[in-house]
Structure 1
């Protein structure tokens, strides 16, 4: 095979960019004839991504891998309102820039046949509106899902319900019904399906991208066969393009060196504190780049932690103010938000922090439990490092992930599976300290069934990416498919 170039385009949101960048690394590390280019669209959905992509620009990427920040289309932020039209406009506006860069790859190859030839595109599931570009260049395109195989299955099934049976999916939000979905062994409460289907605007985006999925040459999923065997097998239905489970792809441990100086100090402080704790003794609480709670809920969490008596490391973030949908920030002082005297009373066993280097913390031997929002990257990290989860989903498909982890797979315990974060209003479900305490005790129990199962799945996950493993073989098949017409 000659040298080949693969272009990857993520949705411009933190979890999606991180997963696609790690996928690009995996490709070049696997086959030294491959090169990868990741295009990051701007503006992004999440301000924290800007810092991450700036870090990538100066960090040492593997040979034959590039990350290119596309020009920012600031005009679309004020001109468009809904998420659906925002994303559509962003992709339309960026097509010409992607074409320009890809034309250069083509020209380089024409001038010098020893340079990489364009082999194909890999799009995030919500960036498939860019499919005109590979179609124009006559190369195949694949979809990469930063969510689970079951999530893909639910997407296909919900779209079929809408298109073939005329089901009003927005009505599922308040439904007490259960749904039978082919990718799940158990019926799921309708209100736990991915929340994009509950609002008309986001439902349009959801359906549009689910329909496009069937046009892809193949679907790469950040999962592994032994973890989601039921869901992966259900996708071999003849209607879905070939599926390639290529995970668990988790962000590389040891990214601390790329941090800003203030984060670098925090990082050292956190890791030194963990070094002083006994093995599997610390309950870690972290709710993702959008995870935060108002004061009343913060106090319930604090009461539960104090009463549990367990050591804890709590990433506590400040919600955006005035109802704006912005990612949380760090508190300057925790005293005002926590119960009076809490920090003094728990000083010997607990540590409250802002920003958290999640992968490094989860991979530390002192951590024994993880209260999580159940974003898919976080779910895979917990499995990869053998840390059982107490599920507290907030939005998107996190309730679906929590159901899968607790009910389908038995790899997590529930804090509150049907919790929904209200970004705009003042209504907030309050989860009681009793419910939180019960979950903490359950997840931190030394010889629990959940802990044993997670440790076993962790051992399996280690083997899956190395020679002979299921994801290793799957990635090999993908590379073969991408490059078979190029030799």
Structure 2
């Protein structure tokens, strides 16, 4: 029997990146039994417990064609400063220090399976790991866990810097509008990721570096599907980038966090008692949090809207700390007993939320979201309208895409960004108004979303756009290895 072709995956050590990486690995080995995958798991600085729990939850169900190799801890000096949100600069520095561990793990793999390494697939924020593939003379591929639009913007900003001499720091706090290939509308500078245009220039340097390296890959895999981002995906056909393969939506449909099943069951039982499409769900990702004044405004807006609600609530931690994702939040520290008593029949406030299970529930009628890309795809998959409230990273761009490019959501804010100074509070009246619009059955976004939900579910089926793209990728990987 011929030995399988081995692919090594190097995901960013963050839960959102790891989940979509593993889901793609499952798809790949399920489509073609000539492949096996080794996922190298770095010890990351953010939410490492969530990463560990996820791997534990999925390992039992995976075939022998996928295995995890846990890399050793780095020296302690890498963990002295834990950022409260992802930074390309921070992660690049971590990746540089991880490179020797990756190199050792890949060499060990080659010793045990000589001659069958078909390529290394690296996260878009781990492109320095392509050096290991270059040293071994094997193909490297880049995996973008964000949207095709985010990828297109990254390449465009790199082009502006390298070929037109544009200083990206000029876009910080700017009212400029950018014409970006693949976008139907001009892109306001205020929705650019703040870290990409920071005034110190370190973010723009990092984005330039990652984009340059990504252009050297044999292919770029993107967690999206053609029907959602056709304008952007078609713009990559101009020959200035490697082939782009749509491989999404990559969603963790079957595995919750088994360590929190009691909490999940309690939430689902509560939803079971609510009428269909009657509940607005608020959840802001793994590290999304607000200060006490904003939390009180949200509470007032929710109560005044009159709608039932499920609210995954986190308070902003002390500066430089990561928000607590536990279930042990004392909500009375920030919300009055009177509010909690008045809303006890129509609202439920929780810490951690089983987001995928919640969005799948028939009681959910709308989703107030931080617009992380995984959350955006999950809402489309389940046909739940989004109200956009981005917080950091590329979420402002995702919100712009949802509201302006796709016209499939309600804007609470598209340029809210905790990485920028002087954030204005969103008042309770605005929040109330947007909730009413989000939950309005006659809102035309519901019809658009229903159509996109159908496309989303067809994409990975036989004959679907992403299924065809993955088959093309498989053929190209075999050709590149030969």
Shift of 1:364: 1.3
- Separation in structure 2 between the aligned mates of residue 166 and residue 81 of structure 1, nearest angstrom: 33
Counterpart of 1:142 in structure 2 is 141
Q: 1:479 aligns with which of 459, 474, 482?
A: 474
- Separation in structure 2 between the aligned mates of residue 146 and residue 305 of structure 1, nearest angstrom: 32
Counterpart of 1:190 in structure 2 is 189
**1:44–1:50 Cα contact (<8 Å) kept:** no
1:406-445 alignment runs, 5 A limit: 406-422=403-419, 427-445=422-440
Shift of 1:45: 3.5
Please list the CA deviations of residues 164-206 of structure 1 after superposition, one character each: whole Å capped at 9, or x if unmatched.
2222211212111211111210012111112222222222211
**1:215 counterpart SS class:** coil
1:294-333 alignment runs, 5 A limit: 294-321=291-318, 323-330=319-326, 331-333=328-330
Shift of 1:311: 1.2
**2:18–2:51 Cα contact (<8 Å) kept:** no
**2:124–2:210 Cα contact (<8 Å) kept:** yes
- Evaluate the alpha carbon distance shift between residue 348 and residue 85 of structure 1 in structure 2; reply closer, same or farther with a 3 A threshold: closer
- Separation in structure 2 between the aligned mates of residue 439 and residue 459 of structure 1, nearest angstrom: 26
Q: 1:468 aligns with which of 430, 441, 463?
A: 463
**1:247–1:471 Cα contact (<8 Å) kept:** yes
Question: Please, what is the CA RMSD of the aligned residues?
Answer: 2.1
Shift of 1:266: 1.0
- Separation in structure 2 between the aligned mates of residue 180 and residue 71 of structure 1, nearest angstrom: 44
Q: Structure 1: 5+ residue runs without aligned partners? A: none
Counterpart of 2:152 in structure 1 is 153
**2:290 counterpart SS class:** coil
- Separation in structure 2 between the aligned mates of residue 84 and residue 471 of structure 1, nearest angstrom: 28
Q: Structure 2: 5+ residue runs without aligned partners? A: none
**2:296 counterpart SS class:** helix
Counterpart of 1:100 in structure 2 is 104
Do structure 1's residue 36 and structure 2's residue 32 form an aligned pair? no
Counterpart of 1:52 in structure 2 is 53
Shift of 1:99: 2.6
Runs of 4+ deviating beyond 6 Å: 79-82
Counterpart of 2:332 in structure 1 is 335
- Evaluate the alpha carbon distance shift between residue 104 and residue 59 of structure 1 in structure 2; reply closer, same or farther with a 3 A threshold: same
TM-score, structure 1 as length reference? 0.92
**1:288 counterpart SS class:** coil
Shift of 1:50: 4.3
Shift of 1:109: 3.3
Counterpart of 1:455 in structure 2 is 450
- Evaluate the alpha carbon distance shift between residue 85 and residue 486 of structure 1 in structure 2; reply closer, same or farther with a 3 A threshold: closer
- Separation in structure 2 between the aligned mates of residue 483 and residue 154 of structure 1, nearest angstrom: 30
**1:126 counterpart SS class:** helix
Shift of 1:89: 4.1
**2:416–2:423 Cα contact (<8 Å) kept:** no
- Separation in structure 2 between the aligned mates of residue 328 and residue 429 of structure 1, nearest angstrom: 23
**1:279–1:368 Cα contact (<8 Å) kept:** yes
1:164-183 alignment runs, 5 A limit: 164-183=163-182
- Separation in structure 2 between the aligned mates of residue 264 and residue 360 of structure 1, nearest angstrom: 11
**2:302–2:309 Cα contact (<8 Å) kept:** yes
**1:14–1:48 Cα contact (<8 Å) kept:** no
Please list the CA deviations of residues 217-247 of structure 1 after superposition, one character each: whole Å capped at 9, or x if unmatched.
0110000000000110111111011010010
**2:304–2:432 Cα contact (<8 Å) kept:** yes
**1:37–1:67 Cα contact (<8 Å) kept:** yes
Counterpart of 1:380 in structure 2 is 377
- Evaluate the alpha carbon distance shift between residue 305 and residue 85 of structure 1 in structure 2; reply closer, same or farther with a 3 A threshold: closer
Counterpart of 1:283 in structure 2 is 280
**1:68 counterpart SS class:** strand
Q: How many residues align?
A: 475
Shift of 1:268: 0.7
1:234-253 alignment runs, 5 A limit: 234-253=235-254
**1:164 counterpart SS class:** helix
Counterpart of 1:232 in structure 2 is 233
**1:317 counterpart SS class:** coil
Shift of 1:133: 1.1
